[in-house]
Structure 1
Amino acid sequence: MQTKELHALQDDPSQVYTVFRPSVKALTIAMAAIAGFMSPFGSNIYMPALPQITEKLNITQGQTLLSVTMYMIFQGVAPSFWAPLSDTLGRRPIIISTFLIFLAANLGLSFVNVYWGLLTLRMLQACGAASAIAIGAGVVSDVAPRTQRGRFMSYFQVGALIGPCAGPIVGGLLAKRWEWHSVFFFLSAVNGILLVCFCAILPETLRALVGNGSKRPVGIWKPWINFSLSAQHDDIENHHGKAMTMEIPSHVSLGHMGFHKPWLMFLEPDIALLILSYSLSFMTYSVSSATLSETLASNYDYNMIIIGLCYLPLGVGFATGSLMAGRLVDWEYRRSKEKHGDQLNLFTTRLKYAPFFNSLFCGGYIAVEWCLDKKVHIAAPMVLFFFCMYI
C-alpha cells in the first residue's frame, strides 16, 4: 500500500508527480489500454459463434448462454483478488501473471469439445483477462495527477470499450470462415504477442515501489529491453553516490494484503448506491449484448459476419463517449477547484452528471429493445445503440 510520504507527494503541487518521459508515459497508458482491451474482447469475440457452439456441442441455448454468464461473474469477482496483489507486488508482475493464465485458458479452449471443459476454461479465461481493467486504472493513477486523470482515464478506457465492438466482428469472420475453435486460436496468438510485449517494455509504475518513477526497477519489475524511463534515472543519486533503486517487497503476508477491502465498500451506503447504479446499467448492456446475436439471427435472419458488424455501433459509441466524458470530468474538476479550493468534494465533482446520463441510458435502452422486438429496420436500433453507449 502507499505510504504517507507518497500520498503527500500526490497532493503537493510543488512536487513532480512523475518523472517518466512523455513518451514513456504515453507508452504506459497505451499498454494499459491494450491490456484492458483484452477482457471485453475475449468475452465478445465469442458472441457471434454462440448459435454454432449450441449446434456443435449439442447443448441448449441456455447452456451456451451460461458460459457467457460464468465468464461475466468471474470477470467481476477476479479483480478483487488481483488488485490488492498489484497494490503490494507491483503492476507489472501481476499483469504478466494474469496474461499467462489467459494464454493457458485460450489454448485449452482451442481444443475443447465438451461442455464442462468449455465452462471451466471460460471461467479461467475470465480470471486471467478481467484483472487488466482494474490494474490498468491503477496504472493511470500512478502516472497521471488528479487534474489530468479524467482525460488519461478516458484514453485508457478507449481500449476497454473498443473490445465489445472489435470482438464480435473478428469472431464473426473467424467462425464463418472456419469454426468456433478458431476464435480461441486467434486469442491465443494475440495473447502470446502481447505477453512478450509486456515482458519486454512495460515499466513498473506502482508508487509504493518506484515512487514517482525516479527509482530504478530491478528483477521482474524491470523491462527486458533496457531503455531510459526518465531523464532523472541517470542523474539521481543517494548520499552514497549510488543510483536509487526500488525496494523489493519482502515478507509479504496474504493476510495483510486487504483482499476483503474491496467488499467493504458495499458497507458505505453512498458508495453502495453508486455501484448499484452503474452495475444495473452494465447488467443491462451485458444481457442485451449476450442475447443480441440470437435476436439478430432469429428476427433478422443475419449470418455471423453481419451479426458481428452489428456490434460496431456499441464499440464506436463507447470509445467516443469515453473520450468526451474524460474531458468533461477534467473541466468540471478545474471549475470546482477554482470555486471551492481545498473544500472541494471530489466525489460530487466527478459524479455530478451521472444521474442525467444514467437516465438517458435507461430510456435509450428501452427504445432499443422495443425496436428489436418489433423488428424495426436495423438502422433504428443501431443508431440508438450508438447513442446509448456514447452516453
Structure 2
Amino acid sequence: MDTNHPSAGSASALQPKTPALSPPLDPPPYTIFQKGEKAILMLILSLIGFCSAISSPIYFPALPTLTSYFKVSEAVINLSVVAYLVFQGIAPTFVGSVADVIGMRPVLVLSAVVFTASCFALSQTNVYWLFAVLRCIQAAGIAPVVAVAASVSGDVCTPRDRGGFVGTVSGMQLVGNGFGGIIGAALILGFNTWRAIFVFLGILGGFAMVLSALLLPETSRLIVGNGSIVPKSILNRLLFSVLPHFRKQLTNDYSTLRKRNKLDLLSSYKILVVPEVFASLVPSGIHYAGWTIALTSLSTELENRYKYSVMHVGLIYLPQGIATLVSSVVTGKALNYYYRYRRAQYDEKYKDTAPENRPSFNISRTRIDICIVPATSMVIGLLMFGWCLQYRKAAISIIIASTLISFSTVSLISCATTLLVDLFPGKSSSSISCLNLVRCMLAALFTGILDHLIQSMGLGGCYTFMAGLCLLSDLMLVCIILVRAKKVMSADTVSEKQALEESEEVTEKQPTSKAEESAIDTGNVLLENRQPKLS
C-alpha cells in the first residue's frame, strides 16, 4: 500500500485501477507456438527443403541417359548441372530479402507452386535448350525455401533451442542430397525413362504445396509478432486460424512486433563483409563443393571404372544418404547441448554481475566449436575417396569415404546456418541466402572444372587438392574467430572490472522473475551488441 495517499481505504479501493500500484505484468512469451506446433513446422519446412535439395543429385544417375537422348556431349549436359547450381545460389539472395518484408508463408507457397509446374514441364520436354531453361526456373523457384526455413526458426525459437530446430531442418533438407542418387536410379530402372524423375518431383512438390497452403502459419515477427497477431493480408493467414484452438491464442499483442525492415535486395551481399560470416561461409561453401563433386564423380566413375549398373550405383548412394539423416539429428542435439553448457558456464561466472555490465556472450565460438570433428573427418573422407577410386579399391572403401564426406558436410552447414540465424535474427532469410549463394557458386565452379582437374591431376590428386582447400579454409575460420574473440575480450575488460567492483558494493541479485528469465533465455541484449549494422 502506498502510504503517500491521503486515504488508505480509498487507496485500497483504487489499487486495481491504478497502474502504479498494479503488480508488474509478465512479458509475453517469445512465441505462442507450442512443442507440437513446432514439430509440424519442422516437418513442413523439412519436406519443402527436401524438394530443393533432392532436385540436383536425383539428376546425376540420368546424366548418361540424357547425353544419349539429347545427342549432346558430356560437357554440354554438365552445363545443365552448373546452371542449376548458379540459379540455386542467386535466386535466394533476392527472394530472401522479399520474404523478410512480405512474410514467410507467401514465399514458401509460391516457391512450391513454381517448382511443381516446372517439374511437370520438364517431364514433357524434348529439346535440350528448353530443358536447360526449365531447370534454371526450377532452381530459382525452389531454392529460396532453404533460407526462408532458417528464418522461420529464428522467429519461433530462442538461442537455447534454436540449434536443434535449425540443425534438424537444414540437415533433413540436405538428406535429399544423400538419397537423391538412389531414388533417381530406382526411378530410371523402374520406369525405364528419365522423365519419371521429374514426374516424381512434381508429385512431391505438389504434396508439399498443398501441405504448406493448408497447415503452414505465418511466423514473421514483422507481421505476426510472437504469433499472436492476426495478419492483415489474406496471403499470410492460415485457413485453420478460425478454429477455436487458434483463435484463443490470437491476442493481438502488438508489443511483440519487430520493427519493419526496408526492402533491401542487396542485404545478403552486405552481410558477406562481416568477419564471422565470411569466415563461416567460405569453409561451408568449399566443403559443400567437395561433397557435390564427389556425388558427381560417384555416378560416372562407378559406371566407367567398376562397370556397375545404374541400380548398383544407386545402392552405393544409400549409406551416405543415411549418414546425412543421422548427421542432421546428431548435430542439432549437439548444438543445443553445447549452447546450454557454455551458457551455464557464462551465467555461473558472472552471476554476481549486473546484466548490462557483463561482457558479451561469445555465440560464434559456441557454434563453431562443434565444427572441429566434422571438419577433420571431411579431409580424411576426401583423401580416401579420391585415391580409392583412382586405384579401384574395394567398394566398401568408397562407401566409407562418401559416408564421411556426407556426414561432415551436413554437420558443417547446420552449424553455419545456426550461427547466421543467431547473428541476424531479424534478417535470417537474407543471411541464409548469403550462405546458399556462396556454397552453390563454389559448387558450380568446381563442378564446371571437375573434368579438367581430373585430367590434370587424376582422381587422387583432384580430391587431395579439395582436401587441402578444406583444411586451409578451416584454419582461416579458426584464426579469425580467435582473433575476434581476443578483441571482444579486451574490449570487455573495462566493463568486467567495473562489474566486479559493483558486485562488491551491491547486494547479490539473482534472476527470479519471469521477465528476467525471459531476457536471459532469449539473449537479445547480448546478441544486439554483436550484430553489425548493415545499412
TM-score (norm 2): 0.65
- Does structure 1 residue 124 correspond to structure 2 residue 155? no
Q: What are the Cα deviations for residues 240-285 of structure 1, in whole angstroms up to 9, with x where unaligned?
A: xxx98x99x99x9xxx411111111222344223211111111111
* Partner Cα separation in structure 2 for residue 93 and residue 46 of structure 1: 28
The Cα shift of 1:355 comes to 4.3
Cα distance change on mapping 1:165 and 1:353 into 2, 3 Å: closer
1:287 corresponds to which letter in structure 2? I
Q: Which runs of 5+ in 1 are unaligned?
A: 1-12
Q: Is the 8 A contact 1:21 1:230 kept in 2?
A: no
* Partner Cα separation in structure 1 for residue 319 and residue 207 of structure 2: 28
Q: What are the Cα deviations for residues 296-352 of structure 1, in whole angstroms up to 9, with x where unaligned?
A: 110111122222222122221112112111222222211221222453111111112
The Cα shift of 1:15 comes to 4.2
1:219 maps to: 234
Match of 1:271 among 256, 272, 277: 277
Which structure carries more helix by proportion?
Answer: 2
Cα distance change on mapping 1:372 and 1:24 into 2, 3 Å: same
Cα distance change on mapping 1:187 and 1:237 into 2, 3 Å: closer
Match of 2:36 among 23, 27, 38: 23
2:69 maps to: 56
1:115 corresponds to which letter in structure 2? Y
Q: Which moved more, 1:99-108 or 1:339-348?
A: 339-348
* Partner Cα separation in structure 2 for residue 216 and residue 279 of structure 1: 39
* Partner Cα separation in structure 2 for residue 230 and residue 150 of structure 1: 28
2:333 corresponds to which letter in structure 1? R
Q: Is the 8 A contact 1:91 1:139 kept in 2?
A: yes
RMSD: 2.5
Match of 1:112 among 125, 135, 148: 125
* Partner Cα separation in structure 1 for residue 89 and residue 230 of structure 2: 34
- Does structure 1 residue 318 correspond to structure 2 residue 324? yes
Q: Is the 8 A contact 2:294 2:402 kept in 1?
A: no
- Does structure 1 residue 75 correspond to structure 2 residue 81? no
Cα distance change on mapping 1:237 and 1:222 into 2, 3 Å: closer
Q: Which moved more, 1:317-326 or 1:51-60?
A: 317-326
Matches within 5 A, 1:156-235: 156-176=169-189, 177-217=191-231, 219-226=234-241, 228=243, 233-234=247-248
* Partner Cα separation in structure 2 for residue 135 and residue 357 of structure 1: 25
2:47 corresponds to which letter in structure 1? I
Match of 2:296 among 290, 295, 312: 290
* Partner Cα separation in structure 2 for residue 334 and residue 174 of structure 1: 44
1:7 maps to: none
Q: What are the Cα deviations for residues 3-52 of structure 1, in whole angstroms up to 9, with x where unaligned?
A: xxxxxxxxxx9641211233222111110111111111111111111110
The Cα shift of 1:356 comes to 4.4
The Cα shift of 1:223 comes to 2.5
* Partner Cα separation in structure 2 for residue 229 and residue 385 of structure 1: 50
The structure whose Rg is larger is 2
* Partner Cα separation in structure 2 for residue 222 and residue 237 of structure 1: 15
Q: Which moved more, 1:62-71 or 1:155-164?
A: 155-164
- Does structure 1 residue 378 correspond to structure 2 residue 395? yes
1:219 corresponds to which letter in structure 2? I
* Partner Cα separation in structure 2 for residue 301 and residue 229 of structure 1: 61
2:393 corresponds to which letter in structure 1? V
1:363 maps to: 380
Q: What are the Cα deviations for residues 178-200 of structure 1, in whole angstroms up to 9, with x where unaligned?
A: 21111111111221122111111
The Cα shift of 1:205 comes to 0.8
Cα distance change on mapping 1:24 and 1:59 into 2, 3 Å: same
Q: Identity rate of aligned residues, in percent?
A: 27
2:341 maps to: 335
The Cα shift of 1:149 comes to 0.7
Q: What are the Cα deviations for residues 131-190 of structure 1, in whole angstroms up to 9, with x where unaligned?
A: 111111111111111100111112212321210133222211221232111111111122
* Partner Cα separation in structure 2 for residue 198 and residue 36 of structure 1: 12
1:305 corresponds to which letter in structure 2? M
Q: Is the 8 A contact 1:106 1:184 kept in 2?
A: yes
* Partner Cα separation in structure 2 for residue 229 and residue 119 of structure 1: 48
2:367 maps to: 350
* Partner Cα separation in structure 2 for residue 236 and residue 60 of structure 1: 58
1:5 maps to: none
**SS state at 1:267 partner:** coil
TM-score (norm 1): 0.88
Q: Is the 8 A contact 1:161 1:315 kept in 2?
A: no
* Partner Cα separation in structure 2 for residue 235 and residue 129 of structure 1: 32
What is the aligned length?
369
Cα distance change on mapping 1:388 and 1:117 into 2, 3 Å: same
